[in-house]
């Protein structure tokens, strides 16, 4: 899941406890080890400090006493530049990737041909296919029910948007119909889904032209 530079921070480090800052240090150590980077180099790069800055025995960092302002800066750097490793190490602490240039990120990270529209019909409370899948820009009849069929490469979270006259509007994928994002698994699935994991149809009930 991504977070833009202007969005609220996923974690407010100005109120972080020692225990939370210890977790951040543990993630930083894991990333340094996984990338073959000296821990001091990673810290100095993230915090914009001279490359020869001496951290000593790092007792303050191990004990969760890194300044909260620096903790926020370190967190943002890891979320932007080492998101996969950070989330793998601590998914709860790193639910979002920090993205500065959204369009550039989408161009670089996009996987083509893995999303389709599936017209559906509800029978006895169960969502069933009405016909084979369509491309994501297919035109449906007003009021026609549909799901999004996603073949995900990796598990994670999904959000969806509908474009109209140059503006993008979110399609609610959360189980309660209000949350924008939903958790996804690797492989094929129909979205959105109920809290029980069953497909739940969407429909376009207003004629937007």
State the number of CA atoms in the 13 A half-sphere of 114 facing the CB.
13
Q: Give residue-wise pLDDT tens across range 183-209.
A: 899 999 999 988 888 888 888 765 554
The residue ranges of every structural domain in the chain are: 2-105, 111-203
Question: With contact defined as beta carbons under 8 Å apart, do 147 and 153 qualify?
Answer: no
Q: Give residue-wise pLDDT tens across range 81-132.
A: 999 899 999 988 998 777 777 777 778 778 888 988 888 876 644 455 555 6
For residue 16, name the pLDDT band (cuts at 50, 70, 90). very high
Q: Give residue-wise pLDDT tens across range 146-176.
A: 889 999 998 888 888 877 777 878 888 887 6
Would you call 135 helix, strand, or coil by DSSP?
Answer: coil
Query: Which pLDDT value is given to residue 127?
Result: 52
For residue 7, name the pLDDT band (cuts at 50, 70, 90). very low
Tokens of 128: 């069933």
Of the two residues 4 and 88, the one the predictor is more confident about is 88
Torsion (CA) 26, 58, 8, 15 in degrees, nearest 10: 100
């Amino acid at each position: 899941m991504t977070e833009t530079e202007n969005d609220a921070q996923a974690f407010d480090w100005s109120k972080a406890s020692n225990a939370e800052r210890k977790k951040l240090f543990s993630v930083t150590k894991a990333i340094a080890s996984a990338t073959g980077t000296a821990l001091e180099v990673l810290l100095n790069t993230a915090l914009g400090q001279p490359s020869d800055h001496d951290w000593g025995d790092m007792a303050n960092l191990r004990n969760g006493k890194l300044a909260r302002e620096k903790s926020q800066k370190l967190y943002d750097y890891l979320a932007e530049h080492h998101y996969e490793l950070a989330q793998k190490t601590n998914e709860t602490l790193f639910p979002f990737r920090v993205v500065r240039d959204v369009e550039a990120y989408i161009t670089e990270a996009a996987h083509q041909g893995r999303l389709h529209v599936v017209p559906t019909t509800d029978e006895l409370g169960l969502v069933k296919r009405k016909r084979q899948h369509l491309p994501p820009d297919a035109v449906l009849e007003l009021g026609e029910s549909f799901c999004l069929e996603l073949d995900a490469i990796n598990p994670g979270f999904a959000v969806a948007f509908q474009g109209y006259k140059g503006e993008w509007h979110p399609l609610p994928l959360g189980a309660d119909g209000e949350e924008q994002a939903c958790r996804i698994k690797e492989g094929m699935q129909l979205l959105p889904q109920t809290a029980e994991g069953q497909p739940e149809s969407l429909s376009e009930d207003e004629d937007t032209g």
